[in-house]
Amino acid sequence: MTSSSVASSAPSFRVWALGGIPEVRAGDDLAKLIAAAEPGLVDGDVLLVTSKIVSKAEGRIVEAADREAAIDAETVRVVARRGPLRIVENRQGLVMAAAGVDASNTPAGTVLLLPEDPDASARAVRDGLRDALGVDVGVVVTDTFGRPWRNGLTDVAIGAAGVRVLDDLRGGTDAHGNPLGATVVATADELAAAGDLVKGKAEGLPVAVVRGLSHVVASDDEPGARELVRSAADDMFRLGTSEAVREAMTLRRTVREFSDEPVDPGAVRRAVAAAVTAPAPHHTTPWRFVLLESAESRTRLLDAMREAWIEDLRRDGKSEESIAKRVRRGDVLRNAPYLVVPCLVMDGSHSYGDERRDTAEREMFVVAAGAGVQNFLVALAGERLGSAWVSSTMFCRPVVREVLSLPSSWDPLGAVAVGHAVGVARERAVREAEAFLTVR
């Protein structure tokens, strides 16, 4: 076999930018403009269309003397902020700079918003080219993104029609026979980047054609580019800087119903590592966390606590029916697959021999321990674990210390039920910060 025959059999494709597309205005038919610029399109071609001309054709130009206000309107969630730059999740579900609001290549005093539904926009161009030229092509609507951990910009797919946006290779093998367990190729993004090489950023060439990759062109039923957006549950990097910390605080909810899914002990240990960064008096470390990872240890503790509680309730004169109801309400700990008992230790505290100062000293340590528990709960939320901080161990500390073989100097501060929440947490009641402020 000659070298030329080897070269001719190697996979290849061609990509070129279309010239002759005029300035696009609201109401223009993009499919007709593209068909006029390239009447020689064939089945299996892929059109890469810059989102900017899609937005212009769809009338997504808005008056906005203040671009920041337009960004606010398009923002669902702020992911990170540094100075004036904001990385946000926009109404299309895309995480990007400035919500995709663009003030370039648009008249002064206006901004350009992304298409309302980029997948629908791609379908309209695909259908229009089928009507105009009788061809079956794929269409990808592209926009420019920066990326975490990487310098520079590249085009990615934000809308698609008739294109296999993802190529799932899981279950196959590589050239050496090794199983592929996590390989899902973002084909639509690769196409978008290829088109950007010939369209450029400032050449006025908003459409490119890829020929020779007809295997990526699919039916109308193929899901669009929304398939490329990672779900919140699968996004390991959803939380980031100060805005993300506030997001974690919001995610922290009291969970009272847990699934059977096991808890990763490593995640709990990472949450403890966050907990012990809390402030504390006199450079002390007043936190200890007892991890109940075995079902036997959890049951033994909870059974002993229940008996102690029942005895207390009987001494209070409660009826057996009332006692049974109260005990059932405490089952949130019993239903959790993992328990943590945070404890306060007073090592390093000062003794003043004065009741007022000694009381204040202990209160400082209690506050520090509470800060550690709050850190712990928020870190669990960041690990996508639900939790419920229940005070019950504080009412039977001797029992808890005996069952868990803890030093007499350790004071349990409740128990934290940990697990994966069943269902979606209810919306938290809005608390206006102003209601909790006093300014002098």
Same structural domain, 385 and 274? yes
Question: Which is higher by pLDDT, 11 or 6?
Answer: 11
The answer to whether position 5 is within a domain reads: no
Same structural domain, 215 and 166? yes
The answer to whether position 46 is within a domain reads: yes
CATH of the domain at 284: 3.40.109.10
Q: From CA 66, how far away is CA 180, in angstroms rounded?
A: 49
Same structural domain, 278 and 198? no
The answer to whether position 203 is within a domain reads: yes
Which tokens belong to 370? 């509470």
- pLDDT for position 285: 95
Up-side HSE of residue 160: CA atoms within 13 Å toward CB?
Answer: 30
Same structural domain, 256 and 346? yes
Is residue 158 within 8 Å of 140, Cβ to Cβ?
no
The percent of residues in the chain predicted with pLDDT above 70, rounded, is 93
Same structural domain, 345 and 211? no
The answer to whether position 76 is within a domain reads: yes
- pLDDT for position 1: 37
What mean pLDDT is reported for the chain? 89
Same structural domain, 310 and 388? yes
Same structural domain, 150 and 296? no
Q: Is the pLDDT of residue 360 over 50?
A: yes
What are 158-212's pLDDT values in tens digits? Answer: 999 999 999 888 777 777 778 777 788 999 999 999 999 999 776 789 999 999 9
The answer to whether position 145 is within a domain reads: yes
- pLDDT for position 2: 44
The answer to whether position 7 is within a domain reads: no
Task: Give the number of residues written for the chain.
Answer: 440
The percent of residues in the chain predicted with pLDDT above 90, rounded, is 62
Same structural domain, 123 and 153? yes
Strands 46-50 and 138-147: parallel
Q: Which pLDDT band holds residue 66 (cuts at 50, 70, 90)?
A: confident
The answer to whether position 207 is within a domain reads: yes
Selection from 48, 166, 194, 62 nearest residue 116 by Cα: 62
- pLDDT for position 239: 61
Same structural domain, 81 and 53? yes
Domain-ending residue, one of 199, 234, 269: 234
Same structural domain, 229 and 266? no
- pLDDT for position 225: 92
What are 372-386's pLDDT values in tens digits? Answer: 999 999 889 888 898
Q: Is the pLDDT of residue 320 over 60?
A: yes
Q: Which pLDDT band holds residue 247 (cuts at 50, 70, 90)?
A: low
What's the rounded mean pLDDT across residues 345-371? Answer: 94
Same structural domain, 55 and 180? yes
- pLDDT for position 204: 84
| Torsion sign, CA atoms 210, 212, 214, 215 | negative
Q: Which pLDDT band holds residue 245 (cuts at 50, 70, 90)?
A: low
The answer to whether position 391 is within a domain reads: yes
- pLDDT for position 324: 85
What's the rounded mean pLDDT across residues 71-85? Answer: 85
- Domain count for the chain: 2
Same structural domain, 187 and 331? no
- pLDDT for position 424: 72
Give the structural domain span for 297: 252-436
CATH of the domain at 182: 3.30.1330.100
Q: Is the pLDDT of residue 244 over 60?
A: no
Question: Which is higher by pLDDT, 434 or 127?
Answer: 127
